[in-house]
Structure 1
Amino acid sequence: MALALKASPSSSAALGHTGGRRGAAAMVTMPRRFLVRARATSTEGPSVDPPTGRQLVLTTPPVMANKRALSVAQTLSRIKEQGKTALIPYITAGDPDLATTAKALRLLDACGANVIELGMPFSDPYSDGPVIQASAARALAGGTTPNAVLSMLKEVTPELSCPVVLFSYLGPIVRQGAASFTAAVKEAGARGLIVPDLPYAETCALRHEASKNNLELVLFTTPTTPAERTREIAQASQGFVYLVSANGVTGPRATVDPRVKDRLKEIKQLTNKAVAVGFGISTPEHVRQIAEWGADAVIIGSTMVKQLAKASSPREGLKKLEEYARSLKDALP
């Protein structure tokens, strides 16, 4: 049986609410150039692909002294073993420009970020709130393109001690083709991939292409994702399990949904993979609370982006970003 993979008009599918057909076919059909042969690859830790029942394994290089050799999963595992909680900041590539983005990546790494999410600007970022939507619009208006983002990233990643995860909507991936896109992301030095509008039931092909390029495909779950679907997501997600703190789009909230505490416990009973909490987190108090609840990592996006956006100049924005990032790092154990 073949599955058709297309951009979804609703982000809820990517957050674990879409039902899926099961099958063991090796061929996955996609629009235009998005045709790939799904096949298992194998050399390292197991990751199950529920739609096919296959075991997925990343061809991750062996752990060496150099931190750049570590995958996202290995990085977070080390932080967890040290009894600490990882900091994962998000910024939008190209806002205000790619030169500033490159400086921001180096700065966040120097501030102690354990993993960095880099957002690929997209014209219809419907899982994001007003802050990141506006950020993407500014980046696109300034001429930022996927190729330019990856070219910049290729120059910067050799200088970073932490891995970068690329956050991209499905549109750019479909246009370029899964094989070509994931190969380009690997060439740029990123170690993971997040696609917020990729329906869970249709992740098989992209996950195989990502795995062939040593990219960990991170999947989402929410406080309202059904138990069985959460189990499947926990098994299939690579790098870490992304727990969305509340249903809806990205953006600061006054408090963290208390259901997150119970969801963390439930997910940790299903997997020993790192669980990172994101969406709506903006203050050191939020970060401290989520760490106390047992999260392995905390993801902060909109308020990170805002530090650059509200500044009078890129230089001032980088200064504000550094102050904010350090305040969050200091709040973590």
Structure 2
Amino acid sequence: MTRIDDTFARLKTEGRRAFVAYVMAGDPDFETSKEIVRGLPGAGVDIIELGLPFTDPMADGATIQLAGQRALAQGMTLDRTLEIARDLRKTDTTTPIVMMGYYNPIHSRGVPKFLEQAKDAGIDGLIVVDLPPEEDEELCIPAQKAGLNFIRLATPTTDDARLPKVLQNTSGFVYYVSITGITGAAEAQADAVAPEVARIKSQTDLPIIVGFGVKTPDTARSIAGIADGTVVGSAIVNQIAEGKPVAEILDFVKALADGAHSA
């Protein structure tokens, strides 16, 4: 059992949906990023997705691309991203942290060394968007053996023939991408997402979390109501990009979390 498994088990007994928040590590700067991450659990966040800055984030829209560029310009690295997780673990030993990013920085570090360092820093799961199931031996299988969940994305184009392959070695939860395209591109619609969530649920016992296109408390509520929870990323990153004070950013996160938890 990982922290992710424990969190979903607890939420199930409480009859609540999960709220997952994405932030880019190092955005707008290292110290502010640490402060934001430390504040997320108190704002109602059940699982933190911590973005690993990368120079070529192909799945991300302009909002998160720019966040990565800001972080890299501030000297953000894989080591400093792990340090943000390590900083949270000084005060919070229960909130799961999922590192989300691309394979190149991990491959450059070396998978065994990366997994050892990630585990030591308190990372609980990985989402690596450019590693398909056919490459599971690269990172997915080693990560699971190291005690980290490997979370896979399913999308509107993941048909019934492809879905079993996507689910094959997935653990922790399934991240359903509610829209076709990049992050921040459109608003998620619960009536369109519900049949897809039901289709995936028919093939797995894992929780289904829906992300992409969730921008408001009302949307968080409607999407969480047809899934096991929801993810908000671009809307939070926009608040950071606008230079809002940390307290104001966390108030915004709390409103989204309250929406998801009221589903």
- TM-score, normalization by structure 2: 0.94
- 2:108 is matched with 175
- 1:35 is matched with none
Deviation at 1:239, TM superposition (A): 0.7
- 1:219 is matched with 152
**Local SS of the residue matching 2:11:** helix
Asked which structure has the greater CA Rg, the reply is 1
Corresponding residue to 1:278 among 201, 205, 211: 211
Deviation at 1:229, TM superposition (A): 1.9
- 1:85 is matched with 17
Q: State whether structure 2 residue 254 is matched by structure 1 residue 326.
A: yes
**Local SS of the residue matching 1:90:** strand
- 2:54 is matched with 122
**Local SS of the residue matching 2:219:** helix
Deviations 1:63-110 (A, max 9, x none): xxxxxxx52122123212322111000000011111111111111111
Structure with greater proportional helix content: 2
Distance in 1 (alpha carbons) for counterparts of 2:65 and 2:88 = 25
Q: State whether structure 2 residue 101 is matched by structure 1 residue 165.
A: no
**Local SS of the residue matching 1:228:** coil
Q: Which moved more, 1:213-222 or 1:223-232?
A: 223-232
What residue ranges of structure 2 are gaps of 5+ in the alignment? none
What are the within-5 Å matches in structure 2 for residues 1-333 of structure 1?
A: 60=1, 70-160=2-92, 161-256=94-189, 258-293=191-226, 295-311=227-243, 316-332=244-260, 333=262
Over the aligned positions, Cα root-mean-square deviation in angstroms equals 1.5
Deviation at 1:136, TM superposition (A): 0.2
Q: Which moved more, 1:204-213 or 1:284-293?
A: 204-213
Deviation at 1:255, TM superposition (A): 4.3
Deviations 1:233-278 (A, max 9, x none): 2342111011000111101523426431101111111111110001
Distance in 2 (alpha carbons) for counterparts of 1:237 and 1:180 = 22
Kindly report structure 1 stretches of 4+ aligned residues shifted beyond 3 Å: none
Distance in 1 (alpha carbons) for counterparts of 2:129 and 2:115 = 16
**Local SS of the residue matching 2:151:** strand
What residue ranges of structure 1 are gaps of 5+ in the alignment? 1-59, 61-69
Distance in 2 (alpha carbons) for counterparts of 1:147 and 1:291 = 33
Give the AA of the match of 1:296.
Answer: D
Distance in 1 (alpha carbons) for counterparts of 2:166 and 2:8 = 18
**Local SS of the residue matching 1:205:** coil
Distance in 2 (alpha carbons) for counterparts of 1:158 and 1:297 = 27
**Local SS of the residue matching 2:40:** helix
Distance in 2 (alpha carbons) for counterparts of 1:129 and 1:257 = 21
Distance in 2 (alpha carbons) for counterparts of 1:255 and 1:279 = 7
Distance in 2 (alpha carbons) for counterparts of 1:124 and 1:321 = 26
Distance in 2 (alpha carbons) for counterparts of 1:233 and 1:199 = 8
Q: 8 Å contact 1:131–1:251 — kept in the other structure?
A: yes
**Local SS of the residue matching 2:209:** strand
Distance in 2 (alpha carbons) for counterparts of 1:197 and 1:259 = 25
**Local SS of the residue matching 1:326:** helix
**Local SS of the residue matching 2:175:** strand
Count of aligned positions: 260
Deviations 1:181-224 (A, max 9, x none): 11111111110111011122112331222123211010011122
Q: 8 Å contact 1:252–1:302 — kept in the other structure?
A: no
What's the % identity of the aligned pairs? Answer: 36
